[in-house]
Structure 1
Amino acid sequence: MDLLKKLQRVDATIGIIGLGYVGLPLAIASAKAGFSVIGFDVDDSKVERLYAGQSYIEAVSGADLETTAKRCAWTVDFTQLASCDVIVICVPTPLNQHREPDLSYVEDTARVIANHMTPDTLVVLESTTWPGTTEDVLKPLLAESGHALGQEIFVGYSPEREDPGNTTYRTQTIPKVIAGDGPEAQAMMEAYYGAVVETIVSVPTPTVAEAVKITENIFRSVNIALVNELKLIYDEMGIDVWEVIDGAATKPFGYMPFYPGPGLGGHCIPIDPFYLTWRAREFDVPTRFIELAGEINTNMPHHIVHRTREVLDLAKGRGLNGAKLLLVGVAYKKNVSDMRESPAMRLMQLFEEAGSSVAFIDPHVPNIPPMREYGMFEGRAALEPDAIAEAGFDAVVIATDHDDVDYAALLALGCPVVDTRNAIAKRGLDMVNVTKA
């Protein structure tokens, strides 16, 4: 089989559709492995920046772009898919306004591939989705190309496992779950990903691989919901949940620490569990546990707003209406610029709906980018650090515990601090005026 031999010789052209947090690192890793790469995106500004050697995500450096420049091409011209031996789909899979799966990006991409692909091509879906998507959605759309599936066109699924900001595990070092639709596709998947990453984990079918990804993220969602609920309970008992977790984490077996926060962010955990709950309805199977976890995590921003109102009432005899608040961190997790599903944006919205004016600081986010649900905040600029002391804030709310923040300077403002991440205590600073929330 010509394609398999080309992959085994690392002599194939890899097309990566979607140059975001998943696609761009995979493109660079593929180029470093020796493959020729064509990266596709609908955003021509990304293409321009990549050709200028400017990366827009932390996982890929300018040096990475420079060292792989001879093997990488970037384009918005999808007709070039015809020259690709492997096409990897790395496009978003969000929820719609009814919290149901929105596969429009995957479907549109599959139709574009079908229009331009040539025989002897492997198409891989990496986007997170419900179990059965590759079989029920992707394959029928690719069949519209007129090429025979399993003979001329081969299909596989490999869930992305990127973790923005994680300096220990990168694309090449994270074990990669792979599954091909049939033995020929499986051999191609193993040849491609085996050359790109250190460890591959083969599972029997794409549906199993899709379920693996969903299971990983539901595990995290449920456990984060548990500690969020424990936090609410222990708060009423006067018990510090972070101290409880630190104590429990000393057990060398049977326990894994998870930590509370102001809500869930990132593309995976707030979204992926609902893909399974939606799919389960087709089989008339209840998903009460998963849905309860989602409800708890979704309600956490409301809890933070309530606690901030209580703190202001106690400290200043006023509520949120007319209050000036400083929100510390708007990225969804520490030390990254990733804004996807950030709970900080929901906090900003709730605070302003309550009549507060909200400014923010974030060393990784100078301006709030376009966001589907928070268009009203697009372009809002971070407050410069030297302007904080003069702003006269009524309270500080720590939403994201970036390392590159002067927390001592925040305490020096003398106003109440609502800490949703235990950032102050973790740094051994004075807890006067600090409320853990």
Structure 2
Amino acid sequence: MGIKIESSVLALSNKINTKSATIGVVGLGYVGLPLALEIVNKGFQVIGFDKDYKKISKLNNGVSYIADMSNAIIEKAVNEEDFEPTNDFSKLAYVDVIIICVPTPTTAGGTPNISYIVDAADLIEQNMSSDTLIILESTTYPGTTEELVQPILEKGDFVIGQDIFLAYSPERVDPGNLNFSVSNTPKVVGGITAACLEVSKLFYEKVINTNVFAVTSPQVAEMEKLLENTFRQINIALVNELSQICHKMDIDVWEVIEAASTKPYGFMPFTPGPGVGGHCIPVDPKYLLWAGQQHGISATLIEAADKINDSMPSFVVERLENYLNAQGKEISDAEIVVIGVTYKPNINDFRESPALHVIDKLKEKQCGLKIVDPFIETFQVDNDIFNTVSLTKELIRKADAVVILTNHATIDYSLIDQHAALIFDTRNTHYLFENEKYYKL
């Protein structure tokens, strides 16, 4: 290691070890905000950057927009001047470590949209100082850090691994998970050079309370993240397809899964549902699919899993229609109460939620719709704005069917059980439903 590199590594390492380093987090969403507050909790000063003025205003007023993060935590960090939310990106010049946590959606055609990463990298390049560590955490295709971010950062006079340091460490955030958070979830990190890996690993060791696993390159870390979520997508697709087969054979798929789960090795239980949602599972496998295509590989298993999961909203609506028909009712004349819009229980995130696709298909059937979700007040499906309503006895009694799409813990399922004319539960929410017109997916 040359004298210049040693000097830069030593200077930055000393700042990290003494917690005198200022940390910048670019992107204050479901990944960036919890990470920023965890870094504050470990004794660092943090500047949080986001272009969304509404988010910055809320944070500076101690208001959280993430369901499992309290106002009190944000208010304390802001008032004690440990956390500075801002949309002034010139302040990137004053930070020692910059973590990129911006969205990575797909285009309408299903290809990677890395425009947010490019934008963040441009802003960093225009404002950063020497001896700075930049870590990309946004999920992306293998090669992004080296082929896209590195050339942007090196447009000026800085050299990666000598003047500045660059690494990739995939985010592992599971909103609403009470057992695993930023602090106790192991991190994977890959650096462009040995020096990049050294300082990035040191940084995470100061921030989290568990293992930091070093890999040989950013590409390995990028691919590892795609494997995590593609594994889930494929296994969810398997049980979703199994649920369709079991329905035709009049077999309870939930009992099948429970029985299979008794095997102490070689089996991991996954459960069916109305589809897949969130910022990871519907999106990340498409990045892997695209990456394979760029290298002449057709990932047919990933494609098939995608199609199966995408078919589930139609399967849900078709079964609901059949249950109504069995009662002599047409779905077009029915009043339907939908329970849950968010992609998973007990959070306020409805990105890519399968519930939105079910609601869209129910709209096409021209039935009456009332939506209950205690975690959100309003949402949009195509051009239609929906306002959620409270769950009441009168609401349930007037409905021809109740469809449970998200199993929030705060829902009064006994009220539904007692007063619903028909219940279609896509989440196996309650083993003790006594309603004679109760159906599971």
TM norm. shorter chain > 0.5: yes
| Aligned match of 1:393 | 399
- Structure 1 146/139 Cα, relative in aligned 2: closer, same or farther at 3 Å? same
CA distance in 1, matches of 2:105, 2:44: 30
User: How far apart are 1:431 and its partner, in Å?
Assistant: 4.2
Higher mean alpha-carbon deviation, 414-423 vs 204-213, is at: 414-423
Answering whether residue 336 of structure 2 is matched by residue 317 of structure 1, we say no
| Aligned match of 2:214 | 202
- Structure 1 249/328 Cα, relative in aligned 2: closer, same or farther at 3 Å? same
| Aligned match of 2:157 | 146
| Aligned match of 2:238 | 226
| Aligned match of 2:421 | 415
**What is the SS of the residue equivalent to 1:122?**
strand
CA distance in 2, matches of 1:350, 1:388: 25
- The CA deviation string for residues 76-109 of structure 1, in whole angstroms up to 9 with x for no partner, is 1111111111111101100111011111111111
- Structure 1 317/359 Cα, relative in aligned 2: closer, same or farther at 3 Å? closer
| Residue correspondence of structure 1 range 309-388 to structure 2 within 5 A | 309-318=321-330, 320-368=331-379, 374-378=381-385, 380-386=386-392, 388=394
| Residue correspondence of structure 1 range 284-303 to structure 2 within 5 A | 284-303=296-315
**What is the SS of the residue equivalent to 1:16?**
strand
| Aligned match of 2:194 | 183
**What is the SS of the residue equivalent to 1:334?**
coil
User: How far apart are 1:188 and its partner, in Å?
Assistant: 1.0
**What is the SS of the residue equivalent to 2:363?**
helix
User: How far apart are 1:377 and its partner, in Å?
Assistant: 3.8
**What is the SS of the residue equivalent to 2:145?**
helix
User: How far apart are 1:410 and its partner, in Å?
Assistant: 1.4
CA distance in 2, matches of 1:255, 1:385: 38
CA distance in 1, matches of 2:420, 2:302: 41
CA distance in 1, matches of 2:396, 2:293: 54
Q: Would the aligned equivalents of 1:157 and 1:210 in 2 still touch at CA under 8 Å?
A: yes
Unaligned runs of 5+ in 2: 1-7
Higher mean alpha-carbon deviation, 22-31 vs 322-331, is at: 322-331
RMSD of aligned alpha carbons: 1.4
Q: Would the aligned equivalents of 1:117 and 1:145 in 2 still touch at CA under 8 Å?
A: no
| Aligned match of 2:4 | none
Task: Give the aligned residue type for 1:72.
Answer: F
- The CA deviation string for residues 388-435 of structure 1, in whole angstroms up to 9 with x for no partner, is 43772221111001111111211233321111011132xx12141111
CA distance in 1, matches of 2:112, 2:86: 28
- The total of aligned residue pairs comes to 429
- The CA deviation string for residues 125-145 of structure 1, in whole angstroms up to 9 with x for no partner, is 100011111111111111223
**What is the SS of the residue equivalent to 1:286?**
coil
CA distance in 2, matches of 1:388, 1:268: 37
CA distance in 2, matches of 1:387, 1:247: 36
**What is the SS of the residue equivalent to 2:430?**
helix
Task: Give the aligned residue type for 1:293.
Answer: A
- The CA deviation string for residues 129-185 of structure 1, in whole angstroms up to 9 with x for no partner, is 111111111111112233222211211111011001100111101111111111111
Q: State, as a whole percentage, how many aligned pairs show the same letter.
A: 41
CA distance in 1, matches of 2:75, 2:190: 32
Q: Would the aligned equivalents of 1:18 and 1:91 in 2 still touch at CA under 8 Å?
A: yes
Q: 2:284 aligns with which of 272, 278, 286?
A: 272
**What is the SS of the residue equivalent to 2:332?**
coil
| Residue correspondence of structure 1 range 15-30 to structure 2 within 5 A | 15-30=24-39
CA distance in 2, matches of 1:409, 1:316: 24
Task: Give the aligned residue type for 2:383.
Answer: M
User: How far apart are 1:66 and its partner, in Å?
Assistant: 3.7
CA distance in 1, matches of 2:356, 2:369: 11
| Aligned match of 1:108 | 119
Q: 1:429 aligns with which of 430, 433, 436?
A: 433
- Structure 1 39/359 Cα, relative in aligned 2: closer, same or farther at 3 Å? same
Q: Would the aligned equivalents of 1:24 and 1:60 in 2 still touch at CA under 8 Å?
A: no
CA distance in 2, matches of 1:389, 1:344: 20
CA distance in 2, matches of 1:55, 1:148: 38
Q: 2:102 aligns with which of 80, 91, 96?
A: 91
Q: Would the aligned equivalents of 2:393 and 2:415 in 1 still touch at CA under 8 Å?
A: no
Q: 1:50 aligns with which of 55, 59, 73?
A: 59
User: How far apart are 1:297 and its partner, in Å?
Assistant: 0.5
Task: Give the aligned residue type for 1:406.
Answer: D
Q: Would the aligned equivalents of 1:159 and 1:210 in 2 still touch at CA under 8 Å?
A: yes
User: How far apart are 1:24 and its partner, in Å?
Assistant: 0.3
- Structure 1 388/327 Cα, relative in aligned 2: closer, same or farther at 3 Å? farther
CA distance in 2, matches of 1:107, 1:51: 27
CA distance in 1, matches of 2:435, 2:266: 32
CA distance in 2, matches of 1:259, 1:390: 27
Task: Give the aligned residue type for 2:316.
Answer: I
CA distance in 1, matches of 2:384, 2:423: 23
CA distance in 2, matches of 1:174, 1:388: 44
CA distance in 2, matches of 1:345, 1:316: 27
| Aligned match of 1:40 | 49
- Structure 1 82/241 Cα, relative in aligned 2: closer, same or farther at 3 Å? same
CA distance in 2, matches of 1:238, 1:335: 31
| Aligned match of 2:3 | none
Unaligned runs of 5+ in 1: none
Higher mean alpha-carbon deviation, 334-343 vs 406-415, is at: 406-415
Q: Would the aligned equivalents of 2:346 and 2:408 in 1 still touch at CA under 8 Å?
A: yes
- Structure 1 3/388 Cα, relative in aligned 2: closer, same or farther at 3 Å? farther
CA distance in 2, matches of 1:316, 1:78: 62
Task: Give the aligned residue type for 1:122.
Answer: L
CA distance in 1, matches of 2:337, 2:157: 57
Task: Give the aligned residue type for 1:34.
Answer: G
CA distance in 2, matches of 1:316, 1:124: 59
Tell me the TM-score normalized by structure 2.
0.94
**What is the SS of the residue equivalent to 1:410?**
helix
| Residue correspondence of structure 1 range 240-259 to structure 2 within 5 A | 240-259=252-271
- The CA deviation string for residues 372-398 of structure 1, in whole angstroms up to 9 with x for no partner, is xx35244x2211223743772221111
